[in-house]
Structure 1
Amino acid sequence: MSTSDGASMRSLSEISEEETLRLSVDLVAAARRNLGFLRLVNESLWLHQTPTILESIRRYDELWMPLISDLSDGSSPPMILPPLDIEWVWYCHTLNPVGYRQYCESRFYTLIGKAAIFNEENEEYALNRCKEIWIQRYPTEPFENEYDDSTLQTSVSTFHEYLLKEVTKQRHLFTKFSEPYYSEIVYLIAARQRYKGFLYMMHRFGDSCSVLVPTSDILLMWITHQSYPTAYTLDTKGLEEEMRKVVGAWEAVKKEDIEDTEKLWDRIFDQPYEKAGGLAIRKAVDVKPPIYWEVTDTDVNAKYSSMLPRFLLEVCLTVKLKPKMKTLSCDASKEFLRLQMVRCHRELKIDRPLSNFTSQRWQKALHLYCEFGTKGMVLEVRQRGGGCIKGSRLRESVTFLWNDLLRAPSLNLAKEIDQKVRVATSITPPVQASYLLKCVPDRVSDDSGAMISDVILKMNQYHPQEGRWLSRTVLDHAGRECFVIRFRVGGGFWRRGAETPSAVKWEDRIIEIREGRWSYVAGSIGRAPEKVVGIAKPKDPPEGWHAHWNLSTGDELSVRWESSRSSSGLSFSLTNQQSTDSMVQCI
């Protein structure tokens, strides 16, 4: 059926259960569980050695599948989970639904399903229960993979070679979903909605394309669906031929196939196909994001309350002109789209000429990473030649707030500007990112931590201020004061007049870090926070090093600098009596 034969354009949220395929497994909970499983597999390096994989395949084929087949009761699989190595082989096998079904039916005369276990406590129970059954049935076979050279297989069957290829192919599957926002519930709910739209598109209009290229969020839902074979077979009954058109995670993708899928999605839903956190899969190894997001379940900072977490989100902006917009007119050639933040970064202005866009399809205008604290973004349609020659005149503007987008279906909102431009904005859920700190110079302070100033002198009834410390203030990503770093550089007293501070010896040039912000008493004059969280005391450097400090943590830091015509750089050595030396060299 072509799109011209079908219904009119509609949004994803308008599709009813009767019109699309019914999903008999909770894909949100299943995907979240699978992401944790894939991360564990990715970190288990022992699991990816060829001899270990072959032993896992043997255990899967000869031990696990006969066991789970005997325990399966009709359509409900038993609530047990196999060891990690067997589960990994099982998972990879199910990602080839046709091959897995043929294997099960030829050997066990029925399709073997997998229990939907998404709770950690239930997983632990299911694993322990499986271990009990395993020991009773296979008393001479270890429950865990205890491969050694003595069990090396001299010959490998054709089926085991096939499974080896399947497992090896999925070795880096987690890298496609390694960004931390993939595990957020709101993201997975939106991904499930788009996956249902993808199935609807394939079911109603699949003959419009010979190949369908999924986006990363749809791909996640698809392989999660496949990993529960009985549910997948039931849900996609009658769509076997259409499902063969979908490109797998590691298959080669043509640009034309991506464009055809985008056009079909646009005609059906009138929405951009690609979105933030949901780009079309293009090649085997995806480009790494421009920022590093460490996946962690807890905040790495549990010690310093002055450091507030920083949250980032991915933003994708796509533009489509209204059909009656004449892009080649004189006025249109002077019009452009401007992006600004709702809060902070007022100087940020990104312009895109409207002549770059068309009314035929959605085109990506911007792909950004924004801090959640910016609240949102403002999009303006402006026309050059306003009040001054180089100025511009505002025609109309719209605002996209991050909180509104988080509540929107599929994390996507579309708005119209100036009756001629349609703009769709999509985001990923905000996730904690690395801390971003910067150090700025501040006033010289005395031994007590007070800034050298007439104000402090007067407050102390003109009692002289003793000592000289260079001060640096550490600011976080929002410009909040987190720490004060002080370097002792001089002694002596300061009153009103021209007193000259006295120099201090090298071993007395202490560096201290205080947690918190300045306590301001008048304008920019204040006192350093009381809490000292770190001290570095200089010592005579060892032979071959130029500087050495004893840290309050018990570590010792040595620094050596080199400068020559051939090379230059710094070398660092951080040692501790309870650990081995570690070296870091910066060139």
Structure 2
Amino acid sequence: MSESRNASEISEAETIRLGVDLVSAARRNIGFLRAVAESQWLHEKATVVEAIRRYDELWMPLISDLTVVGSTTPMVLPPLDVEWVWFCHTLNPVSYQQYCESRFSKLIGKPAIFDEENEEYALLRCKNIWTHKYPSEPFENETDSEMPIPVVTNEEILVEVTKHRFLYSKISEAYRSEIVYLIAARQRYKGFLYMVQSFCDECVRLVPASDILLMWLTHQSYPTAYAEDLKEMEGDMGKVVTVWESVKEKEMKETKILWERAFDQSYEKAGGEVVLDLDRVNLVKAPVYWEISDTDVNTKYKSMLPRFLLEVCVFVRVNSRMKATQQTSEFLRLGMLRCHRELKLEKSVSNFQYDSWQKAWHLYCEFGSKGIKLELRHRGGYCFKGSSLQETVTFHWNDLLRISSLTLERGVAQELRIHASITPPVQAPYLLKCVPDRVTDDSGVMISDVILRMNRYRPQEGRWLSRTVLDHAGRECFVIKIRVGEGFWRRGDEAPSAVKWEDRIIEIREGSWSYVADSIGKAPVQRKWLERQHQKNH
């Protein structure tokens, strides 16, 4: 494992002291932005204009009266529409500070409220104060979308609110709310601030990775803490690309070079990608769909076990300049530690560079695969075919999760340095497949000579087609039975007859087969009739 200094190893004296718990604050902001994104009424033009009026004319004077410079921010929270406008306004720290200073002669901060009970208390307290101060103004935004759009009272704030309409799309991945991810993101944000302090004169603009951007936006949303923490860097932060600005490839490359120079690590990581088109709304679905609810939607079927996914990034760098320039027959092969044994992804060593980290693989993996292994191999092994193994390194998911940065670095044969990072595993949608199975009788037992002998050659009554439902790990979850025949089968003229369409039945039985001999078994006990189909004969 490399002993190079990383962002988590910067001393407190070297980095910026943060005056707000960014981990809890970011988690709260993600939930808040999700609620905003799901509230379609909040984005109607008339509603937005009214929310800006309420923020500008009602809320800010109210919170200003409660705010005492140098004391703790009052524990009050405005209604959702006003809080959304407030949040958007704070994401432009310069404009927000000028607004506060010009109107109230002080910077107005936001209370650090991170749990539901305190949030409910702060909202209720605000409602009481609001009702007393503004008896003719409703606490909630009651604007009708069909009403004429009122006159905009503050164009500058309207621009900010409109600009951040789709902000949640940039941080909507399920893993971003995980505590371990946010702790790692906070470490990287502090490293980014250290880099800005140390090298800002050497770069025109710096591009934040997505995890750093999340922390930066969260920091900005608490304006008094942000202003105090970065008062010595106020001019430097103007060089950092904001969330909706367009980015040039040169700026992104310069940022990566400075990060590697400061920490000798790859700038990008799993869950911390650098997006070239920051100004575009991310409406394209990810390669793997893993949007989930906060809780497991399946509480009924115990046979279904949850499935967990994580994102993996592997970066490689060559140790020797000479090794990087010469052609070689060596290559890296990536495989899984468990499952997917046939997966073999290969990259030639000559593809990697000496002076920078290069992304070799970006994967989405099942947590049950345990980890990845990387083999350094030499082409032309036995009888000049295939390849010979030189060395193997492994990265276990559990080892990566134990490290606060969620990253590990290992060396291979003193030639290569490999940097692996993951996102925390999060529950993903269930992945099921249905496979044909044996025909069964009315009791759910497979039709077989074995069963016939066990029943002393008593014929099996009825015929049902069966399908077995398997989960992502190949475990049997359900057995689907479709009644297609009735009667007995005996040698001779007697045979089951097809049932009429209106008499066809579909049963879905929860559980797995009970095997009595090799692959011969009995369907799980029926607990409930899930569907009875009555169809007409076409």
Shorter-chain TM band? over 0.9
Amino acid in the other structure paired with 2:347 = R
SS of equivalent residue, structure 1 residue 271: coil
Larger strand percent: 1
**Identity, % of aligned positions:** 66
Q: Which moved more, 1:314-323 or 1:8-17?
A: 8-17
How large is the RMSD of aligned CA atoms in angstroms?
A: 1.8
Q: Any conservation in 1 of the 2:308–2:427 contact (CA below 8 Å)?
A: yes
> Which residue of structure 1 aligns with residue 293 of structure 2?
296
> Which residue of structure 2 aligns with residue 234 of structure 1?
228
User: Which of 186, 206, 215 is the equivalent residue of 1:212?
Assistant: 206
> Which residue of structure 1 aligns with residue 479 of structure 2?
484
- Cα distance in 2 for partners of 1:448, 1:51 equals 64
Shift in CA distance, 456/155, structure 1 to aligned 2, threshold 3 Å: closer
> Which residue of structure 1 aligns with residue 425 of structure 2?
430
User: Which of 177, 192, 197 is the equivalent residue of 2:191?
Assistant: 197
> Which residue of structure 1 aligns with residue 98 of structure 2?
102
Q: Which moved more, 1:450-459 or 1:428-437?
A: 450-459
Q: How does 1:83-122 map to 2 (within 5 A)?
A: 83-122=79-118
- Cα distance in 1 for partners of 2:82, 2:76 equals 13
Deviation per residue, 1:31-80 (Å, 9 max, x gap): 00000000000111111112211111111111111110110122311000
Higher relative contact order (CA 8 A, sep 6+): 2
Per-residue deviation at 1:259?
A: 0.4
Amino acid in the other structure paired with 2:127 = K
Shift in CA distance, 461/386, structure 1 to aligned 2, threshold 3 Å: same
- Cα distance in 1 for partners of 2:77, 2:234 equals 28
Deviation per residue, 1:15-35 (Å, 9 max, x gap): 111110000100000000000
Shift in CA distance, 153/456, structure 1 to aligned 2, threshold 3 Å: closer
> Which residue of structure 2 aligns with residue 583 of structure 1?
none
- Cα distance in 2 for partners of 1:347, 1:496 equals 46
SS of equivalent residue, structure 2 residue 508: strand
SS of equivalent residue, structure 1 residue 388: helix
Q: How does 1:505-584 map to 2 (within 5 A)?
A: 505-541=500-536
Deviation per residue, 1:68-123 (Å, 9 max, x gap): 01101223110000000110010000000001011111111110011000010000
- Cα distance in 1 for partners of 2:146, 2:463 equals 71
**TM-score, normalisation: structure 2:** 0.96
Shift in CA distance, 211/533, structure 1 to aligned 2, threshold 3 Å: farther
> Which residue of structure 2 aligns with residue 321 of structure 1?
318
User: Which of 164, 167, 174 is the equivalent residue of 2:168?
Assistant: 174
SS of equivalent residue, structure 1 residue 513: strand
User: Which of 141, 146, 156 is the equivalent residue of 2:137?
Assistant: 141
- Cα distance in 2 for partners of 1:268, 1:461 equals 80
> Which residue of structure 1 aligns with residue 47 of structure 2?
52
Q: Any conservation in 2 of the 1:318–1:362 contact (CA below 8 Å)?
A: yes
Gaps of at least 5 residues in structure 2 are: none
Deviation per residue, 1:310-334 (Å, 9 max, x gap): 100011111111134523545x2x1
User: Which of 13, 29, 32 is the equivalent residue of 2:27?
Assistant: 32
> Which residue of structure 1 aligns with residue 152 of structure 2?
156
**TM-score, normalisation: structure 1:** 0.88
Q: Which moved more, 1:516-525 or 1:292-301?
A: 292-301
- Cα distance in 2 for partners of 1:38, 1:149 equals 22
Amino acid in the other structure paired with 1:299 = D
SS of equivalent residue, structure 2 residue 461: strand
User: Which of 124, 129, 133 is the equivalent residue of 1:128?
Assistant: 124
SS of equivalent residue, structure 1 residue 512: strand
Amino acid in the other structure paired with 1:440 = V
SS of equivalent residue, structure 1 residue 410: coil
Deviation per residue, 1:265-316 (Å, 9 max, x gap): 0011111101111111322223531122223111111111001111000111
Q: Any conservation in 2 of the 1:9–1:267 contact (CA below 8 Å)?
A: no
- Cα distance in 2 for partners of 1:150, 1:384 equals 71
Q: How does 1:167-566 map to 2 (within 5 A)?
A: 167-283=161-277, 284-286=280-282, 287-329=284-326, 332=328, 334-494=329-489, 500-541=495-536
Shift in CA distance, 155/492, structure 1 to aligned 2, threshold 3 Å: closer
Question: How many residues get paired?
Answer: 532
> Which residue of structure 1 aligns with residue 18 of structure 2?
23
SS of equivalent residue, structure 1 residue 538: coil
- Cα distance in 1 for partners of 2:163, 2:371 equals 40
Amino acid in the other structure paired with 2:287 = P
> Which residue of structure 2 aligns with residue 165 of structure 1?
159
Amino acid in the other structure paired with 2:482 = F
Amino acid in the other structure paired with 1:264 = L
Deviation per residue, 1:510-530 (Å, 9 max, x gap): 111111000001111110000
Gaps of at least 5 residues in structure 1 are: 1-7, 548-587
Q: Which moved more, 1:370-379 or 1:278-287?
A: 278-287
Per-residue deviation at 1:208?
A: 1.7
Shift in CA distance, 132/302, structure 1 to aligned 2, threshold 3 Å: same
- Cα distance in 2 for partners of 1:477, 1:458 equals 36
